[in-house]
Chain A
Amino acid sequence: DAGVIQSPRHEVTEMGQEVTLRCKPISGHDYLFWYRQTMMRGLELLIYFNNNVPIDDSGMPEDRFSAKMPNASFSTLKIQPSEPRDSAVYFCASSFRPPGSPLHFGNGTRLTVT
């Protein structure tokens, strides 16, 4: 089991550019979560999917953020246009039906917007 795979590990971009973060969940997991971690706000849930369908996107900060899950093995989080305040570590996690099953986290993407 390769675990949850996120790419890229680090992303540095200029303000106004589009950023796409990618996630491959663990095979068979039917829940996928996107979290953002910052020093000030800690770990925040942005959006989660069940069977590729977005269930709760109330954590998405604004319209500049969008997430998709076109199939069971791939998800993207896109920021367009990016701003310096979007700088954070973005985690993807997957699980079987919670809460009985734990979340399995990827190693994160560290995003820096200059």
Chain B
Amino acid sequence: AQSVTQPDIHITVSEGASLELRCNYSYGATPYLFWYVQSPGQGLQLLLKYFSGDTLVQGIKGFEAEFKRSQSSFNLRKPSVHWSDAAEYFCAVGEKGYGGSQGNLIFGKGTKLSVKP
């Protein structure tokens, strides 16, 4: 069965520091991978997605993520964190056929990011 693991429940970084949020997935084939962000009291918003091709994908708000098949990872990065990035971040995996009878989007438990001034 598919699964998504975000090993860090809570991370605190200083404003201006770099950020890397970890995501590991378990899936037999090449999955569709996503990162979403949730601000307090809000729904989730898509940051970026990977389907195929270039393993380094760019997203909104200066975020990027790299798909590493050998490590079953899809870590999210940002070179310089801003205070407004404080939120909860969710990694998700979808399978081909998603939307049909076979698939749905599996979310990790999330990583809460706090930013120190």
Contact = CB atoms under 8 A, between A and B. Distances in A.
Contacts of A102: 34, 46, 49
B45 to A, nearest CB: 7
A100 interface: yes
A106 interface: yes
Interface string B26-43: 000000101010000111
B105 A98 contact: yes
Given A31-B99, A50-B99, A102-B34, A42 B108 contact: yes
Interface of A: 4, 31, 33, 42-43, 45, 48, 50, 55-56, 59, 91, 93, 97-100, 102-103, 105-108
Closest 3 CB pairs of A and B: A105-B43, A102-B46, A99-B32
Given A102-B34, A105-B44, A107-B41, A56 B104 contact: yes
Interface string B42-66: 1111100101000000000000000
Given A50-B99, A99-B32, A42 B43 contact: no
Interface in B71-117: 90, 94, 96, 98-101, 104-105, 107-110
Nearest to B45: A105
A93 B109 contact: no
A45 B105 contact: yes
B100 A55 contact: yes
Contacts of B100: 55
Given A31-B99, A50-B99, A98-B98, A42 B44 contact: no
Contact of B43 (A50, A98, A100, A108): A108
A102 B33 CA distance: 11
A108 B31 CA distance: 27
